[in-house]
Amino acid sequence: MMEATGFDSRTIRGLVLAGGDGTRLQPYIQEVKGEKLPKQFVNFVGKHSMVEQTFRRVERLIPADQILTVITRQHLLHPEVHRQLARRRSETVVVQPSNKETGPGILLPLAFIYKRLPEAIVALFPSDHFILQEERFMSYVTLAIQAVKHDPSQIILLAIEPHKPEPEYGYILPCENSGSAYRFGTRPVSGFVEKPRPEIAVELVMAGALWNTMTMVFKLRTLWELVQRVHPALYAHFHRILEAIGTAEEQRTVNDVYDGLEPVNFSKEITEKIADRHPKSIAVLPVRDVFWSDLGSRERVLQVVRRLDRHSAEEIHAVTPCMQCL
């Protein structure tokens, strides 16, 4: 079907990353929930967990049956995980044998998408982020999809315009030359900085650096071929899985590959290498006027709760008439 956004949604696939363990938040989750539930399945704010909020956000743009979710086998030990995934079609949930970091966590579900639709455009979403202005954020995702349709050779990274220096976040440095801006508002990338020292974070914000959300949009075939160039060993493992998908050897092959895998961070080992070796293949789309938080610590969760309290108070004040005016 042709959407009002101007692209054919049948060619789009969503990917929700829910395979992490969230170890830093486990003491806090144990304290408030009484169990060590992976953080993406916890409702820190509102009635819905972070992964449920991610589903609702992504479904503003992509049909539910075109959204894949990757989890880790150990997550299925929790009844709450089963409950939250019960409405997802079984073929859209990819279970990895163990958590080997974001590299395998991304490439495994991509192999399943590639097997069925190698020309797909994929929009990738972490499931442990809080976004206040969801509709505005998804409008940027739509813009990134349009940019990839216009130039399928590019990977588009969405990055937030920061409201303060944050040493715990990763930063993307857009090229300073404003004349090098691409169509749809994207910009070339000059570098990445991961979790800088506080004084460096201040300098980065002043220099126009952006928070890396790890939300990205790309033509699947483009990314698959770039992985082969920048990390041939990892590519070989997942090409082996790709060939086994749909055969009697599928699950055994996945298990065998994971048994021999070392953890690989996708940002460090894939994205940054692409930017370094194939700079024209990657661009950043600055996202403005959106409150975003990576809920990676107790302090950050509490910051979001306080922000929501202020946001609700402002909304009430905006719609409540002044008593002196009545």
How large a percentage of the chain has pLDDT more than 70? 91
Average pLDDT, the chain: 90
Answer whether residue 54 shows pLDDT above 90. yes
Of the options 3.20.20.10, 3.90.550.10, 3.40.50.12660, 3.30.930.10, the CATH number for the domain spanning 9-158+210-321: 3.90.550.10
How large a percentage of the chain has pLDDT more than 90? 77
Answer whether residue 239 shows pLDDT above 90. yes
pLDDT score for 45: 81
Could you tell me the pLDDT band of residue 323, with boundaries at 50, 70 and 90? Answer: very low
CA atoms within 13 A of residue 16's CA, in its CB half-sphere: 29
Q: Which residues of 103-142 are buried (b: 16+ CB within 10 A; e: fewer)?
A: bbbbbbbbbbbbeebeebbbbbbbbbbbbeebeebbbbbb
Cα separation, 54 vs 264, in Å, equals 24
CB-based contacts of 163, cutoff 8 Å, min separation 6:
291
pLDDT score for 33: 80
Answer whether residue 96 shows pLDDT above 60. yes
Answer whether residue 326 shows pLDDT above 80. no
pLDDT score for 149: 96
Residue 19 CA: distances (Å) to CA of 41, 76, 82, 96: 11, 11, 14, 8
Higher pLDDT pick, 16 / 163: 16
Burial of 16 (0-12, 13-18, 19+ CB in 10 A): buried
Query: Are 292 and 129 spatial neighbours (Cβ–Cβ below 8 Å)?
Result: yes
Could you tell me the pLDDT band of residue 55, with boundaries at 50, 70 and 90? Answer: very high
pLDDT score for 181: 56
Mean pLDDT of 294-312: 77
pLDDT score for 136: 97
pLDDT tens, residue by residue, 273-286: 999 999 999 999 99
Answer whether residue 314 shows pLDDT above 70. no
pLDDT score for 179: 54
Write down the domain spans for the chain: 9-158+210-321
pLDDT score for 315: 44
In the chain, which ranges are E strands?
Answer: 12-17, 67-72, 93-96, 121-126, 129-131, 155-160, 170-174, 187-194, 210-219, 282-287, 292-294
pLDDT score for 52: 97
pLDDT tens, residue by residue, 150-185: 999 999 999 999 989 999 999 999 987 655 557 799
Cα separation, 220 vs 216, in Å, equals 11
Cα separation, 171 vs 195, in Å, equals 8
Could you tell me the pLDDT band of residue 9, with boundaries at 50, 70 and 90? Answer: confident
Cα separation, 36 vs 16, in Å, equals 21
Cα separation, 43 vs 57, in Å, equals 15
Could you tell me the pLDDT band of residue 292, with boundaries at 50, 70 and 90? Answer: very high
pLDDT tens, residue by residue, 113-151: 999 999 999 999 999 999 999 999 999 999 999 999 999
pLDDT tens, residue by residue, 176-231: 765 555 779 999 999 999 999 999 999 999 999 999 999 999 999 999 999 999 99
pLDDT score for 321: 34
Amino acid 22 reads G
Cα separation, 207 vs 123, in Å, equals 28
As given in the structure block, the two tokens for residue 4 are 């009002």
Could you tell me the pLDDT band of residue 6, with boundaries at 50, 70 and 90? Answer: low
Answer whether residue 255 shows pLDDT above 90. yes
